[in-house]
Amino acid sequence: MLLQGKRILVLGLMDPRSIAWQIGQAAAAHGAEVVYTCQRSRIARGFFRRAQAPLDETKLYELDVTDQAGVEQVLGEIGAPLHGLVYGPAYASPETCMGGRLDRAPVADVLQALQISVVGLAGICRVAVPLMQDGGSVIALSFDSQHSYPAYNWMGVAKAALEALVRGLQRDYGPLGVRVNTISAGPQDTMASSHIPGFSQIAAIYPPRAPLGWDLRRGGASVGDAAVFLLSDLSRSVGGAVLPVDGGAHAMGAPLLESADE
């Protein structure tokens, strides 16, 4: 029970396949009280109801990370103490910011992607960190920012910026006893990923490249376990880091070759 007595806020819940839910369930299994935010509670509850997943007793707060006044109101309702925060919101217009050429995306759409996927974390932390009265842990969710993928375009840029922001926030919040880290997860077969143009091409790269194996449907459980570590006191000296959870695929330069001994 690594998180017994801890209160964790998970932002960006959408449906039972979402990484936010996987992390929240893993944290709860280790004793944490988990609070979720979503964009529209009626829609999120509908997704869970259709999947016959238990969500009826779970408290959901509606939150738009681009609305700082709303952020302050919702986190004021959630209140202290807070021991951990998981930032999952990410969005880039599939029509204009993903697919095609980077230089064709309207500036307004690019700024929206950065506002939701990157800047929103800073706005959340501004209000959430003061609720971490005894220190705490912040986790941002990323995807391999070291390589360019087909169609990922401005979302790839946003993830790189998110990781840079995490390093800066760690500098600011470390003296307050707050750890800020990133999990760079392998691709997941989720509702959100279904809206990414060319996702199947990106996803197909991972299983043959991951020496530890990578399951597009079950990998979220591994992400949840890694998040529990970062949220727990076991990670007390880990800060400003990017933790890849992708079966080791990030370290490989090419798909694995079959052993000659096989």
Through-space distance between the first and last CA atoms of the chain, rounded to whole angstroms? 41
Return the structure tokens found at 229: 């570590």
pLDDT mean values, one per 10 residues, the chain (262 residues): 97 92 96 95 88 78 97 97 97 93 97 98 98 97 94 96 98 98 92 77 90 90 97 98 96 78 50
pLDDT of residue 260: 43
pTM reported for the whole predicted model: 0.94
In the chain, the domains with their CATH numbers are 7-248 (3.40.50.720)
pLDDT of residue 194: 74
224-229, Cβ contacts within 8 angstroms, sequence gap of 24 or more? 224/19, 224/22, 224/23, 224/25, 224/26, 224/27, 225/26, 226/183, 227/23, 227/26, 227/27, 227/86, 227/139, 227/183, 228/2, 228/3, 228/26, 228/27, 228/30, 229/2
Longest dimension (CA), the chain: 62
pLDDT tens by residue, 85-121: 999 999 999 999 998 899 999 999 999 999 999 999 9
Contact 155, 197 (CB under 8 A): no
pLDDT of residue 202: 86
Question: Which residue is associated with the tokens 């840079």?
Answer: 164
Residue 33, φ and ψ in degrees, nearest 5: -90, 120
CA distances from 33 to 3, 15, 80, 220, 251 (A): 9, 19, 12, 20, 35
